[in-house]
Copies of this chain bind each other. A is one copy, B any other.
């Protein structure tokens, strides 16, 4: 450990420098790939590099990384951090256990179980099961596979053959639904992308009409995806109404609550997910509203046996000891798997439900404040009254895309733009719970004054 101690010290020094740098420089000035390659020696060579020289390069990499935890980052749904959770993620790197079996992961299996237990309770699945996978869009893929195989159990073994299965989602749902229905062999045409209403929500009348038309033409409806918090607008599909349709036509209902899990911790805001306990599965990205490091995505299912039924394989070289429930490799689409639950557990232990609720409420309060700023200022116009923390607005006479690009290239703010119904607008996400009103003011100051 002696030589390693020195390397660990160097790493800690870089971490400290990174945070100092990030405070002073919340956004990097844009640097082209050519510039970065000139300044940082990336080239992998025949000969190794000594630790001092290598860690100089690593320090440059750290300081040249986009500061996703800073007060200038509003770019995506990732932002902010809960420091003890970052530490847990660091320890995950050191401990390096793999989550197939209790034999190889021990205590880490129990940590994941505890987090899943907690999440199931919050969703309201009485029994249920769940698993962490690296990427919430993958959890959506699995939801489609489960729905497909539940409709025809023969598909797992004999394939889709000529079955004309169709699923439903809205035009505001995440783009990966199309990608994954294609992966599962049904083809992109098998997902009906329904136009949304004037708030960006799924239109129930159109949903039912489309199902009826499909039935008439010999299609077999099997799946409906309800989005709770759409990516661009932050809209919520009406889950309770969709539940009724799903029951009536025997569709499996998946709730893509990727962005939204945090709100279930808030008594004030959880009504937006009303009816979620009546769904068949839910997917979530805890690395978004919960401000833990990437990746922390989870799939929850109401039927506690469905994951085993679909993903258990006979691999006796792996599953040699202990109870089925202690060997989650049996129900996973992955073989090797990190313990992504550890950072979530740490954040939940640190804050408690109460502390988390405060953070989530602050994200909402910041969005509300931003809306007030926009409404007061004649140069701004609000695109849509937000249901949660996506604040979509325009700056009169200036294209949103130009503003975002200028803000980034000049190193002022990272924020992105969205499009809806031919309109282009800035999409401010108040996802970092540590932001204050002053940070929001600072955001608008730059948006207003940046030279495009």
Contact = CB atoms under 8 A, between A and B. Distances in A.
B313 A44 contact: no
A131 to B, nearest CB: 13
A381 interface: no
Contacts of A317: 231-232, 416-419, 427
Interface stretch (A16-24, A203-211, A364-372, A439-447): A16-24
A333 interface: yes
Contacts of A106: 28, 31, 36, 64-66
Contacts of A178: 313
A135 B159 CA distance: 24
Interface residues of A, number: 152
A102 to B, nearest CB: 7
B188 A185 contact: no
Contacts of A15: 8, 91, 94
Q: How many copies does the complex hold?
A: 2
Contacts of A92: 93
B345 A293 contact: no
A103 B91 contact: no
A285 B336 contact: yes
Contacts of A83: 3-4, 7
A294 B136 contact: no
Contact of A155 (B111, B154, B187, B321): B187
A284 to B, nearest CB: 12
A152 to B, nearest CB: 10
Contacts of A345: 42, 44
B96 A44 contact: no
B355 A48 contact: yes
Contacts of A7: 83-84, 87
Contacts of A419: 316-317
B68 A91 contact: no
A90 B90 contact: yes
Contacts of A66: 97, 103-106
A84 B97 CA distance: 18
A221 to B, nearest CB: 15
A78 interface: yes
A212 interface: no
Interface stretch (A53-61, A237-245, A273-281, A300-308): A53-61
Contacts of A107: 36, 40, 61, 64-65
B78 A86 contact: no
A16 B1 contact: yes
Contact of A44 (B12, B49, B348, B416): B348
A434 to B, nearest CB: 12
B90 A94 contact: yes
A59 to B, nearest CB: 10
Contacts of A46: 352-354
A95 B90 CA distance: 11
B1 A20 contact: yes
A18 B95 contact: yes
A54 B349 contact: yes
A169 interface: no
A176 interface: yes
Contacts of A385: none
Contact of A416 (B297, B320, B414): B320
18 contacts: A1-B20, A3-B83, A4-B19, A7-B84, A33-B110, A42-B111, A46-B354, A58-B91, A65-B108, A69-B96, A75-B103, A76-B98, A90-B93, A155-B182, A161-B162, A178-B313, A179-B333, A184-B184
A-B pairs, 4 with minimum CB distance:
A185-B185, A159-B187, A48-B352, A89-B93
